[in-house]
């Protein structure tokens, strides 16, 4: 095994970790949006049920759809986030194992200062 092979594989793993981190960040943003949709739907439903601002049946139906859509989106993205975080942990462990297997060379009799 040449010296470049582990470093190339480490570089590939680091690129994979970066892609997974971007995916996790997207999932977190969607989760936040889902929570906002659920809160907005609940607020709109309360407004419709109390009859405030002339909100009618259409607003109540829309708010129910908003809450249900938010719940589905939240559940899906929480699951995706967990899977992505598990993949990141696995890739980091693999990278650490590869780095640990690299034989380091000691430099003896190196000058203390270059100048």
Sorted by sequence, the CB contacts under 8 Å of residue 36 that are 6+ apart come out as 70
pLDDT surpasses 60 at 115: no
- pLDDT for position 91: 94
pLDDT surpasses 50 at 108: yes
Helix, strand and coil percent figures for the chain, each rounded to 5:
85, 0, 15
pLDDT tens, position by position, 70-105? 999 999 999 999 999 999 999 999 999 988 888 777
- Residue 70: other Cβ atoms inside 10 A: 20
- What's the predicted TM-score (pTM) here? 0.73
3-state secondary structure 12-62: HHHHHHHHHHHHHHHHHHHHHHHHHHHHHHHHHHHHHHHCHHHCCHHHHHH
Tally: H helices and E strands in the chain? 2, 0
- pLDDT for position 1: 46
pLDDT tens, position by position, 1-41? 455 677 888 899 999 999 999 999 999 999 999 999 999 99
């Amino acid at each position: 095994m040449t010296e470049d092979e582990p470093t190339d594989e480490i570089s590939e793993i680091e690129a994979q970790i970066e892609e997974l981190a971007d995916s996790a960040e997207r999932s977190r943003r969607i989760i936040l949006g889902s929570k906002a949709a659920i809160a907005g739907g609940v607020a709109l439903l309360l407004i419709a049920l109390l009859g405030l601002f002339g909100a009618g049946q259409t607003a109540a139906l829309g708010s129910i759809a908003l809450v249900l859509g938010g719940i589905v989106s939240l559940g899906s993205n929480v699951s995706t986030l967990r899977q992505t975080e598990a993949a990141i942990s696995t890739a980091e462990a693999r990278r650490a194992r590869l780095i640990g297997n690299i034989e380091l060379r000691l430099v003896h009799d190196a000058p203390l200062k270059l100048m």
